[in-house]
Structure 1
Amino acid sequence: MGARTSIAPGGRQSRLSGFFSAIENRLERERDQLPLWLPVALGFGIASWFALTDRNSWIAFLLTGAGLGLAALTLARTMRLARGIGIFALVAGIGCVLIWVRAEWVDTETLERPVVSRFAAEIVSVEHMPARESVRLMLRSPTDPALPRQFRVNIDEDVAPGGLRAGAWISLRARLMPPPRAAVPGGYDFSQRAWFSGIGATGRAWGDIEIVRPASGDSWRGWLETRRARLAAHVAERVGGGEGAIAATLATGDRGRIAEEDAEAMRRSGLAHLLAISGLHVTAVIGVAMLLVLKLLALSPRLALNAPLILIAAGAGALAGLSYTLFTGAQVPTVRACVAAMLVLVGVAMGRDAITLRLVAAGALVILLFWPETLVGPSFQLSFAAVTAIIALHEHPRAKKLLSRRDEPWTAKIGRFTLGLLLTGLVVEIALMPIALFHFNKAGLYGALANIVAIPLTTFIIIPLEALALFLDIFGLGAPVWWLVGQTLGLLLDLAHGVSGTPGAVALLPAMPIAAYALMIVGGLWFCLWKTEWRFWGFAPIAAGAIWALVTPAADVLVTGDGRHMAVRESDGRLALLRPRAGDYVRDMFNETSGTEAEAGALEDLPAAWCSADSCRTTIWRGDRQWRVFATRSRYYLPYPALVEECAAADIVVSDRRMPEGCTPRWLLADRTLLRETGGLAITLSPPGIRTVLEPGDDHPWRRVAQ
């Protein structure tokens, strides 16, 4: 027995050593892939700062990362695996520090409560939204000291005076509100975006708007904004209708002219990415510029033989891409695409294969270093997930063998090209589906098929035709080409509406747990960033996260943060609203969070409900018991004895005002006092559980302001 006892520890140590040796041998085979994990480590630190809620947790994360990193690096001489762990931990700590410093450095002045004020302020930017018949102004330096330094105001288009330009000062009266946080758990949190964008309030103006001081004309932003608005109006007028709105978007990035039904059709069909000025559009502009310069210079035999035409064309493409990025507003997605395109052009100029995962990693590092907050937004996640999936597919040996060009009949070439588009579309749809479901609770199912037609149509026909039409307009000859632009855009819109109207075109899912989403992201990265067989281990977390998301039930009761609106989920999945006259925004928000498109009904129409003008009560059966819910819905107070009786008989009480101490329901009192601390609520009844928008002690700066 003694001999066995003395041998066992050595055997375990030998097996452990063998395990680490196997991992190191595997990493040695993946040596070229290791740098791809640097932006993942940086992103992990940034995401951890967003996920953790208080300063003590952030400090603990930093100390843990630093300690683990230093300890691992001390073992790096004897264990190569430790070196990778140490670098990952230290870079993750850098990511956490980076976003923490960025959030505190922004220090946006935020309005604390709704106000109505008349003031004068300077216009920072102007966004025309003809589809909504309004104009959106970004204002700063108001004369009212009670207002934040910078905020956003919408005005009606019919009262907008001439001369609205960046740099002008205007006088107006407006109702302003703090940037809204998510109304219910899983909803869109504008307050976070507003903090990093420097938006301290939002609101709407009414009455007369007066130009106090016209723009001086010296502002480059104002000059650029005016030219952009004129070009958008010119393009929209030349094409006309919904097609003109899409054409203006492709030319200038101005999406305010697109009708809501067209925008929704593009979203449901998986074609909404065509409306965002990003990689596709920047690539098309750069490609057209390079092709034109290369072909024109090649007409000269002397230049063709002696000049570095590829380098010159790459420089022209870079200039065109930078100009297009600035002209379309230099939004973060466009800047991100431009950065990636510049890296590609550098690779082309050096004569190297630039379209690799290392390019994607370099672009992600640049974006996260300058705009770390973009990591948690859907734009960053969708664009980088799509590009990573595409490159991972086309770098696979079997895909290369199947899709590479070769001498064959033109029919076979077209078929191979179509197959490549189909495979690429399928891979992109699979990669983007969890991201779309997490952020929007919906994802298009037929996007891969729609994009087979839409992407070549937009890249090779619509954008070049539009550029040609604009050029010919200089000589007054663009009308025939504009007609062609309208016809091709009509085909694109017909495709979007046809696909979006197909039964089962959209997958819906209730708000998923963030941990389930994180598992799918980790699994996807593991699968895409490695090349050897262990990449397939990534399917385990992907499957676990997907199953977790699918089995997570929709909330049985949803309550907005102000307590005014409540939705009860019926047995068939439809929602019943406490206030049936709630607007489209509230209805859409409840439907998206619950993962349903069915028209919401009224709570008072339920068989088990009783409602008056001032209150409602209903009974919900979940599991093996029934739950009684009571809610107020008017500004009038109920008689105290009747209120106390209703509260005592209810399991859940919901109200937009503070309830008296005598109101003691059996389980939950969600009145103004509680909702001020928790924000909106998502309540599940089988098993009982509550998710909140706010958490006590949340130290994120936009949360501190809200509290």
Structure 2
Amino acid sequence: MFRDRFLARIEALLEAERGQLPLWFVACFGAGIAGWFWVGGERGWIGLIAFAMSLVAGGAALGQGLRSSRALVAGGLALAAGCALIWWRSEHVAAPRLARPVIVEFAGAIERVEHLAAKGDLRLALSVIDDDTLPPRVRVSVKADDNADVLLPGASVWMRARLQPPPPMALPGGHDFARDAWFREIGGVGRALGAVEVMRPGKGGGLDRLRDRLGSHIRTVLPGSTGGIATALATGDQAGVRDEDAEAMRRSGLTHLLSVSGLHIAAVVAAAMLLSLRLLALSERLALRLNLVLISAGMGALAGVAYTLLTGMQVPTVRSCIAALLVLAGIALGREAISLRLVAVGALVVLLFRPEAIAGASFQLSFAAVTAIIVVHGFAPVRNFLARREEPVPFRMGRSLAGLLITGLAVEIALMPFALYHFHRSGLYGVAANLIAIPLTTFVIMPLEAAALLLDVVGLGAPVWTATGWAIDLLLALARRVSSADGAVTMLPTMSRAAFAAMVAGALWIALWTRRWRWWGLAPLAAGAALAASAPVPDLLVTGDGRHMALLAPDGRPLLLRAKAGDFMRNVLAEASAFDGDPGALEEQALARCSREACLADIERSGKAWRILAIRQPDRIEWTRLTAACADADVVIAERRLPRGCTPRWLKLDRPALERVGGVSVYLGEIPRIETVAGRLGQLPWGTSGALVTPRRNP
């Protein structure tokens, strides 16, 4: 029978790939977590779990003893478990949130202090003391003044502050700050007004205090962005890097160097192993009686764990530390430990404790990079080409350089979909830049910085700090040079989740199988890439508060309603418009007529004329004038509530509408449509609630 032949064929394939099936268990577990974020509602979550259990039932129905049956049961259970875990986690961390901005005086206990050196601020995570009108936990920024030395974890403080709800996703497809705050149980964010009174001093010790003191020391001997980058390498704190230098690192594809991950953990572990092995080998008695490799591996493991704790246990660091420990265990047991199973174990550990990490760029980028490296080096042609052999030194060096190039190219290709999905941009010259930057960071900057910190104990670190500064300046010069080159960055508007999911699924299919059927993954990968590349650029962008609007000019440049918008908002609107540059001012364009009260712009899209009316001031406008202007416009935008008599021909986005749906992207093509933050988030607990804005049928 056909069914029997088909099952026999599947059994043969799974038997040949039996070593890869545990990897798919972890992939299904992650898919269950990711699916929870995607479907975004209780009915969808129940439906996803029901679908997973139907896979379990189908696998059980195939009969016992079949590998396909066990695979379906395990995959279905993993999918259901992933969805159930993140659902439970979201309910477990649920905390009250502010409904509106408030100015309050309150007492709080400092839980964590972050130094934002580039802005001259301290960011305090506070648990509110004896005030039921506020959320239990808030985050407040204060000026890093003379109180910085006493604002320590454990201190009790009294302050007056302006607090507001955690900021939502500004535009559809942007970064979701409200999601981050939800899983950190933060119910309000804001800034202190005036001085902060310390009622009880905080603790002087602890890893947080050590991290802060180390960062302050580094920034003292290396001021500016040089010290900020040195601090990031030592403690993982990137707050001291100036915005323009952080942007240069992003555009040049070098920003991964600032996030403590596999490169940094590997350098620390390797240095600890090498140093301990060399020192122990100086003793003939120890060398003859003890397994020095095993002892040095233990020293490397201790160094890796200590560095992970020091840098705050971020997702890439924890993943890299777990991987390093497994590699060291493999060395101790005399086995090869660098494999996709290592990556899968690291991912599973992270997801079990922090399942929400899967939605973040950090988790996705770090695991994608490591997986790409392992997969590429697992291909027989690449493995054979890079294998060690007896050959002259120039050929050996050339082969090593080619290996770096192949690895860098594979990583850049693997990371491009994630960078475009999260940041709307991807560097094109990252491979060449990393060929210089990675060896410079690994073999020059980090050893020099470690030596300088050790020599500071005896007061002899100054010359080494100078050399460290020169090396970091060279890294910054490289980043600036590459980032300013023509065509250094490719931009993409908001990518649909379907396109992103198709590319990830196709890439996983290629990475996790080893037989020829792995190349079936090229189909969804290509389909997702084509769908992402064809994504239209929105013609109109409106933030959820209605204050900021960007209208796309004919040359693709976003034109801002408020030209004096801050750098953050300018970057958000430019990225959502797939524009690599500084936005323009709407009031300076011939297509617009602006007054102090409003801007009126006339544009043409797909052969149809559109009139956009944007109210710029919160004050009331004379009713007759306003309603006449609304009736003459196709789209009306305002940060205030507009009267019911304001009825544009197609779409009205005033304060009540935007409070329901959040930020909006408007597409004025042949079939006009809108996308909203509320539509993207669905019924996720931190999302915008309420009905979607419904445009009039006949624009």
Question: Could you state the TM-score of these two structures normalised by the residue count of structure 1?
Answer: 0.94
| 8 A Cα contact 1:110 1:705, kept in partner | no
Alignment correspondent of 1:684: 667
> How far 1:130 sits from its partner (Å)?
2.1
Mapping of residues 616-655 of structure 1, within 5 Å: 616-655=599-638
CA distance in 2 between partners of 1:23 and 1:216 (Å): 61
Mapping of residues 421-570 of structure 1, within 5 Å: 421-570=404-553
| 8 A Cα contact 1:177 1:203, kept in partner | yes
Q: What whole-Å deviation, never above 9, does each CA across 1:557-613 have from its counterpart, x for those lacking one?
A: 111111122111111101122222222222111101111023322223333322222
Alignment correspondent of 1:181: 168
Alignment correspondent of 2:695: none
Q: What whole-Å deviation, never above 9, does each CA across 1:53-77 have from its counterpart, x for those lacking one?
A: 2212211211221122122123143
Q: What whole-Å deviation, never above 9, does each CA across 1:225-248 have from its counterpart, x for those lacking one?
A: 232222222223334443222222
1:697–1:133 Cα change, 3 Å: closer
| 8 A Cα contact 2:659 2:688, kept in partner | no
Aligned residue type for 1:680? G
> How far 1:672 sits from its partner (Å)?
1.7
Q: Aligned match of 1:701 in 672, 680, 685?
A: 685
Mapping of residues 36-435 of structure 1, within 5 Å: 36-77=23-64, 80-158=67-145, 160-217=147-204, 222-435=205-418
1:639–1:597 Cα change, 3 Å: same
CA distance in 1 between partners of 2:316 and 2:67 (Å): 37
CA distance in 1 between partners of 2:437 and 2:528 (Å): 31
> How far 1:24 sits from its partner (Å)?
3.1
| 8 A Cα contact 2:574 2:580, kept in partner | yes
CA distance in 1 between partners of 2:547 and 2:474 (Å): 44
Moved more, 36-45 or 643-652: 643-652
CA distance in 2 between partners of 1:407 and 1:539 (Å): 37
Alignment correspondent of 1:8: none
Alignment correspondent of 2:577: 594
| Alignment length (residue pairs) | 690
CA distance in 1 between partners of 2:194 and 2:80 (Å): 51
Q: Structure 2 regions of 5+ residues with no counterpart? A: 692-699
| 8 A Cα contact 2:14 2:67, kept in partner | no
CA distance in 1 between partners of 2:285 and 2:690 (Å): 67
1:171–1:622 Cα change, 3 Å: same
| 8 A Cα contact 1:161 1:211, kept in partner | no
Q: What whole-Å deviation, never above 9, does each CA across 1:162-188 have from its counterpart, x for those lacking one?
A: 311111111111101111111111111
Question: Could you state the TM-score of these two structures normalised by the residue count of structure 2?
Answer: 0.95
Q: What whole-Å deviation, never above 9, does each CA across 1:330-363 have from its counterpart, x for those lacking one?
A: 2233222222222222222211101001101111
1:135–1:383 Cα change, 3 Å: same
> How far 1:78 sits from its partner (Å)?
7.3
SS of residue in 1 equivalent to 2:580: coil
SS of residue in 1 equivalent to 2:559: strand
Alignment correspondent of 1:7: none
| 8 A Cα contact 1:159 1:209, kept in partner | no
Moved more, 176-185 or 159-168: 159-168
User: Percent identity, aligned pairs only?
Assistant: 50
CA distance in 2 between partners of 1:484 and 1:647 (Å): 64
CA distance in 1 between partners of 2:148 and 2:70 (Å): 63
CA distance in 2 between partners of 1:309 and 1:233 (Å): 37
Moved more, 485-494 or 330-339: 330-339
> How far 1:699 sits from its partner (Å)?
3.4
> How far 1:658 sits from its partner (Å)?
2.2
Alignment correspondent of 1:10: none
CA RMSD of aligned residues (A): 1.9
SS of residue in 2 equivalent to 1:208: coil
CA distance in 1 between partners of 2:177 and 2:219 (Å): 30
Moved more, 230-239 or 207-216: 230-239
CA distance in 2 between partners of 1:697 and 1:424 (Å): 36
Aligned residue type for 2:674? I
CA distance in 1 between partners of 2:224 and 2:664 (Å): 42
SS of residue in 2 equivalent to 1:694: helix
Alignment correspondent of 1:609: 592
Aligned residue type for 1:297? L
Aligned residue type for 2:127? R
SS of residue in 1 equivalent to 2:620: coil
Q: Structure 1 regions of 5+ residues with no counterpart? A: 1-12
SS of residue in 1 equivalent to 2:181: helix
CA distance in 1 between partners of 2:201 and 2:114 (Å): 17
> How far 1:252 sits from its partner (Å)?
1.8
Aligned residue type for 1:502? A
